[in-house]
Amino acid sequence: MPLVRVDIKRNPDPTFAKNVGKLIYAAMHSSIGVPENDNFQILNEHDEQHFIFDPGYLGISRSDNLVVIQITLSEGRTVEQKKLLYKTIADSLHAQMAVRLEDVFINLVEVKKENWSFGNGIAQYAL
């Protein structure tokens, strides 16, 4: 059960953030086996005063079109699976939405399965 948060500067295209989310879900489904319909996303657009980043950290030249993606998911994926996820997301955003590869920033937050409740006050994955 991933929870995806996407943050971008306000985009003139009102469908941009939702389309980014669709591509992220497809990448998670194909690269790390996220199940069908397991799609929970929070898409945020910010003005320039509320979207701060270093345009050159680690020698990567970022633009104002930066897409920040944070995915909280249950622990257990291998490093290879995570690398495939990063590449699949970046490549699909680049190919289908013209987002520069340098402008795809991804952070994974891994949690234990008992840290999820999908509703009804129940920890559905707790063993």
Catalytic residue among 2, 12, 35, 55: 2
User: Is 55 annotated in the active site?
Assistant: no
Instruction: Taking each helix axis as running N to C, give the angle between helix 16-32 and helix 79-97, from 0 to 180 degrees, rounded to the nearest 10.
Output: 140
Residue 89 CB neighbours (<10 A): 24
DSSP H helical segments within the chain, as ranges? 16-32, 79-97
Q: Report which DSSP code applies to 13.
A: S
- Sign, CA dihedral 84-89-92-94, equals negative
- Which residues have a catalytic role annotated? 2
